[in-house]
Chain A
């Protein structure tokens, strides 16, 4: 139990820390690398929740495919350090900051005031959910329909991408 807590807290601190570092870096490449670190920490957290499949997919898809694409685009565009256009504190920023703070406080208050009434799951259920077999079964029975709708969503996205990418001047 203690070991589990140690793993959880170290991963949690690392993930929040890397997320903070990501948004504060000026160089986009370094920011992207911190994001990858963040993905690995999250994958570790999924592992502690017995969700092996999600953890592996998370690394493969996000840290592997999507982030590589990100880095390629950043390097192709040859972005330099980000420069701020203005440092002035505008009323808009103050309002946005205030609202974000209010949201943070609300969310914190939820954690503090307790988690009564939350649905409970037993350990066996949790163990089952993480396996590829279980996810596959669910995907092709209960969630077959959303799975198929995703394919149409991707078809629309492909058509749109082609439409936007065709650069022929008319």
Chain B
């Protein structure tokens, strides 16, 4: 038992690092006093180390702590993604006026970001229902508080409260579903559930009810329609750094958990005559049809409502709902190609979405507004940042030669491969709608004259360097995408599944 624990601990280095960093921020903020950025740098160091240790785990495939957590290429990929976005968020925080004006609370801010990252690391690897709930709760609890971090703003408190209420209800429903699933199979680990379902056929209505209830929890985490109601308000009310973190990392962790849960629990290991990389669901249990419906609802509603938004944070909130819909298409097809497409999309999404949020943050720092009208004439006032924004938006809309195009291309290719043609058509139509609202912002920036003061807005060199850090991959991966595709293809491997 003890040897096994020690063995597990050695495979648990990234998470241990995060825990140590979490405790360190609390101690550092106690001794180095208020009003200092020290805790932000402690958190940054912890995250860089944790990401580095995750990188070291590439190629490992095992489960640790009596099968509670899997360390496999799939989880390592998502740990890298979460670690990278958390590092970028902390860099943003160094230049965010919202965070810098509340430096006396920076200790709590850094500690909660670390707790959130730890929760997401666990979500990436959880292979047991119990761990799944604990990891989701750790992530959610920290994000509830961070969403209301700027407590002075009343919309921030409102956002936090809405988030908590929706979160509590969806977790409750998910737990009910989990209890039914446990009652049916008598197992809490994903592999045990798979074994139980393979050996004995269970009541199909009960299984369906439990899966739909569990989907409520996942849907909430990835903000899929109809569990998205919290998203616009929370994204608008939370500090921009936290909004950006929620829109990328939280969603990625939710997708990781969802894909692992569905694939591992319901894969039919005895199916014969399938081409490589394609699998099928047990007992003809077609959970992917439910996900297909969610996907269509999510992208259509996200895109259509985004058209009417005048606040850029809200616009990006609805756009992120729509992107969740696109990514769900990759889960529907039941093939490794589909999963790889989702992973590729997340790599691209990390850079383009964080980039768009970062530009919004920079502009809001200077103009104090996130309204689309305040972007009028921005192209003349700050050409470099505006051009960067245009490229991020082109990428979000999925046009070549940006990385966003590659992301969509692989998703649609996976769909067409699996002959889900109608879904691909819906996805393509949605991309057209999304183009409209992205271009609306671009038009304001370049084709409209500025209202009132039209002085140039200047940014410091490090601020522009971060823009470049996000902009270059968005362009680079649009042209040289093969390293990205290779990484994704290597990362779809989950422990114990051929």
**B-contacting residues of A (Cβ < 8 Å)?**
103, 106-107, 109-110, 113-119, 121, 141-146, 149-150, 152-153, 155-157, 159-160, 162-164, 166, 170
Secondary structure dominating the interface of B: helix
B209:A156 contact, CB within 8 angstroms = no
- Contact partner of A146 (CB less than 8 A), chosen from B130, B142, B151, is B130
A166 to B29, CA, bound (A): 16
Query: What residues of chain A lie closer than 8 Å to B115, measured between beta carbons?
Result: 152, 155-156, 159
User: Size range of the interface on B?
Assistant: 35 or more
A110 to B179, CA, bound (A): 14
* Cross-chain contact B65 with A145 (CB below 8 angstroms): yes
Cα A26 to Cα B103 in complex, Å, equals 45
Task: State whether the Cβ of B22 lies closer than 8 Å to any Cβ in chain A.
Answer: yes
Checking B138, B141, B203, B209 against A117 with a beta-carbon cut-off of 8 angstroms, the contacting residue is B203
B residues lining the A interface (CB < 8 Å): 1, 5, 8, 19, 22, 26, 65-66, 68-69, 102, 104-105, 108, 111-112, 115, 118, 122, 128, 130-131, 134-135, 137-138, 141-142, 144-145, 148-149, 151-152, 183-186, 196, 200-203, 205-206, 209
Q: Judging by beta carbons under 8 Å apart, are A160 and B209 in contact?
A: no
Nearest chain B residue, comparing its CB with the CB of A115: B203
Known: A118-B184, A119-B185, A149-B122. 8 other contacts (CB 8 A): A110-B203, A117-B201, A117-B203, A146-B68, A146-B130, A150-B134, A156-B111, A160-B108
* Chain B nearest CB, measured from A132 CB (Å): 20
Residues from chain B with a CB closer than 8 A to the CB of A145 are 8, 65-66, 68-69, 131
A152 touches B22 (CB 8 A): yes
Chain B contacts for A106, CB-based, 8 A: 205, 209
CB contact under 8 A between A118 and B183, given known A106-B205, A170-B102? yes
Task: Pull 14 A–B residue pairs with CB atoms less than 8 Å apart, ordered by A.
Answer: A103-B209, A110-B209, A113-B205, A117-B201, A117-B203, A143-B130, A145-B8, A145-B131, A146-B68, A146-B131, A152-B115, A153-B134, A160-B108, A164-B145
- Interchain nearest-CB distance for B264 vs A (Å): 18
Contact across chains for B65 and A113 when beta carbons are under 8 A apart: no
A146 touches B134 (CB 8 A): yes
- In the complex, which residue of chain A has the Cβ closest to the Cβ of B200? A117
In the complex, the chain B residue whose C-beta lies closest to that of A151 is: B19
Cα of A166 to Cα of B105 in the assembled complex, Å? 10
Closest B residue to A163 by beta carbon equals B108
A152 touching B69 in the complex, CB below 8 Å, given contacts A106-B209, A118-B183:
no
Query: Quick check: B22 and A164 within 8 Å, CB to CB?
Result: no
